[in-house]
Amino acid sequence: MDNEQQTMMSEEAKELLEKNRKYAEVVLKSYSLSPDDFDRIKTELKLAPTPKEVIHTECSVKLYRYTPKKKKLHSVPLVIVPSLILKYYVMDLITDHSIIEHFVNQGIDVYLVDWGVPGDEHGKLTFDYYIDTFLRRCVRKVMRRTGSKKINLMGQCLGGTIASVYAATYPEQINKLLCLTTPIDFEDAGLLSLWTDSKTFDIDKIVESYGNVIPADFVHACFQYLDVKATVQSYKKLYNNVLDDNFLYYYRALDSWLKDKIPFPAQVFKKFIRELYQENRLAKGKFTVNGKTADLSNITCPVLNVVSQFDHVFPEKSAKALNDLVTGETEYHVIPAGHVTLVTIFPQRFETFRVMTEFILKD
């Protein structure tokens, strides 16, 4: 073996050692994150970058208004309802990876309900209170501020379920409804439906054991097992690209969001599991909010239903059920991506952005 070959092998060995060292460092840091780290990380990685202001607060809830980029705005404001399970900023992750940034750039007047982090003081607050008080007050705030008699309402994941319930309860306030990876029919909603079956998942005992708030680790422990193959592949992809700074920046941004978990108010969790997963009341037209039936057939406005083809959290058919339950004209789009990646990866996110923006802006 000549000197040139020895030098090449030496460089390859150094690169392999650096790759292994970097991979171990990234994974260790990821699993060592504590709640106190996330404010620092959000600043360091410039997460949730789109400028905004708080225009309403109540308990842990904040209502944001995103700073417009255009002088002339679309006539109907857009109110976004994120999931209760994870924080809202997956929709505003980093610059050029943000559906909220895209909406703002298109002249849409964007508002978002940030549920915040529930504490013990949320223990007696019900799912009905979240929908009929928190969300209703936010909607009224936007309507008063803009002078608009109706809003466009968008929900993501469980936020889409909440938005659909709200639209069915107050249809006169809704101009258009947009649902993004939204579970509606929970009868056969994948592994989560199986794991929360009333025969083996005693929701009363769980709430009794934990008290006012269901810990974030309990709520989120199962998600990595919903698609074990995808979980393994994500680590393989990280290993193969760990020396690519651009890839690593995006990976850390998304991983930080996934680790920035929030607990679940106990009474909200109780109704969510029992009446949606175990009894499937929404799809059956029997779900109520403060005694009012949230019948999805009350939704007569145009509806956009965007789902992911490879959704590991909620199967496509769980979301597709919405199409047959509303009476308004429905557009249905299946994006070839996962539950989260349809708004984060290239090029699929641009298709999601385009479909949703065109639906909002068209007459």
**Tens digit of each residue's pLDDT (9 = 90 or more) over 120-165:** 888 889 999 999 999 999 999 999 999 999 999 999 999 999 999 9
pLDDT at 228: 78
> How many angstroms separate the CA atoms of 234 and 23, rounded?
12
| Per-residue confidence (pLDDT) for residue 229, from 0 to 100 | 79
pLDDT tens for residues 76-93?
A: 999 999 998 889 999 999
- For residue range 237-284, list pLDDT tens digits in order: 999 999 999 999 999 999 898 888 888 899 999 999 999 999 999 999
Residues with Cβ within 8 Å of 94's Cβ and at least 6 positions away in sequence, in order, are 45, 46, 47, 49, 249, 250, 253
Nearest to 355 by CA among 171, 154, 161, 173: 154
Give per-residue pLDDT as tens, 288-324: 999 999 999 999 999 999 999 888 788 888 999 999 9
- State the Cα–Cα distance between residues 345 and 46, nearest whole angstrom: 18
Cis peptide before 35 (omega within 30 of 0): no
The one-letter code for the residue type at 294 is A
What does the pLDDT read at residue 93? 93
pLDDT computed for residue 6 by the predictor = 55
| Model pLDDT for residues 205-244, shown as the tens digit of each residue | 999 999 899 888 887 777 776 677 778 888 899 999 999 9
Per-residue model confidence (pLDDT) at position 195: 81
